[in-house]
Amino acid sequence: MTPPEIACFKDRTVLVTGASRGIGRAIAQRFAHLGARLAIHFNTRAQDAAEVVASLPGAGHACFAADLGNEISRRSLIDAVTATMGVPDVLVNNAGLYQLTPLAHTDEPVWIDTFKTLIEINLIAPAHLAYLTARAMIDQDRPGRIINIGSRGAYRGEPDAPGYGSAKAGLHALTQSLALALGPHRISVTAVAPGWVETDMASPHLEGPRGSEIRSQSPLGRVAQPEEVAAAVVYLAGIHAEYATGAVLDLNGASYLR
């Protein structure tokens, strides 16, 4: 007999944004091993995205380019995925951007421009993709899941990247509001809030002078691997997690308890 987790994802379409590398790639790989058909979104790294598609078990996977900072590109992304693979059963809003702008050392135009960009990529884009995907699910009367990749920074603070911390706090609040709005349509909306994860986004910090201090923030003495975030996302998309809707799951190795 097919195990329920595999039965649950077989022939399901899962759209993962920012799946050309890092956490998104690990999420895509885990879903594909459970029988899902993956829509791999990327921004600039076409070659990396093509390699992810080639590495996935199963058939029917495809990659899609879109700059999520652009409203028209976001609409085109959902249109293209829907036309090629059908309405996604699961949307994972994973793509994200982290930029440092320490207030005391950043000129006003750069500080405010960066703040706006971080809100656009990390909050407005996932909100827009959630809107478009949920409307398509509702139109076809299909249940679904939306999973947002938030951050510990929403709670612990991001002193040198306040736009990032603000956007992630907004993303957690969006998750809860959409969970209430979309529950009647059998669309569950959840988030995970990782602490540091070993990816390109984190490597300049982990490899720099702060590396050992960052690892020591957790009593485990390490940061997370992308696969640990992927396992949580797959759980939240699975048949046993519909009732987790509205949850923001901390994955930070007890480095910040709230």
- Name the site residues for ligand NAP (rule: CB under 6 A): 18, 20-24, 42-45, 67-69, 94-98, 121, 149, 151, 194, 196-197, 199-202
3-state helix, strand, coil split of the chain in percent (to 5) is 50, 15, 35
Toward ligand NAP, which CB reaches closer, 144 or 165?
Answer: 165
- 233 phi, psi to nearest 5 deg: -65, -45
Query: Which residue out of 164, 235, 243, 256 is catalytically annotated?
Result: 164
- CA nearest to 104, candidates 162, 59, 64: 162
Residue 195: helix, strand or coil by DSSP? coil
Q: Is 256 a catalytic residue?
A: no
Cβ proximity to ligand NAP: between 147 and 202 the closer is 202
Q: Least distance in Å: CB of 237 to ligand NAP?
A: 16
Could you tell me whether strands 248-251 and 187-194 are parallel, antiparallel, or unpaired per DSSP bridges?
parallel
100-139 in b/e form (b: 16+ CB < 10 A) is ebeeeeeeeeebeebbeebbbbbbbbbbbbbebbbebbbe
Is 149 or 182 the residue whose CB approaches ligand NAP more closely? 149
The two tokens of residue 225 are 């691997």
Are 113 and 205 within 8 A, CB to CB? Answer: no
Give the residue with the Cβ less far from ligand NAP, 92 or 134: 92
User: In angstroms, what is the minimal distance from the CB of 235 to ligand NAP?
Assistant: 17
CB 68, min distance to ligand NAP, A: 4
Distance from C-alpha of 108 to C-alpha of 99, rounded to nearest angstrom = 15
Smallest separation, CB 173 to ligand NAP (Å) = 16
Least Cβ distance, residue 223 to ligand NAP (angstroms): 7
For the sheet containing 248-251, what is the strand order?
62-65, 37-42, 13-16, 90-93, 144-149, 187-194, 248-251
Nearer to ligand NAP, 8 or 169 (CB): 169
Euclidean distance between CA atoms 48 and 228, whole angstroms: 21
Supply the residues annotated as catalytic: 164
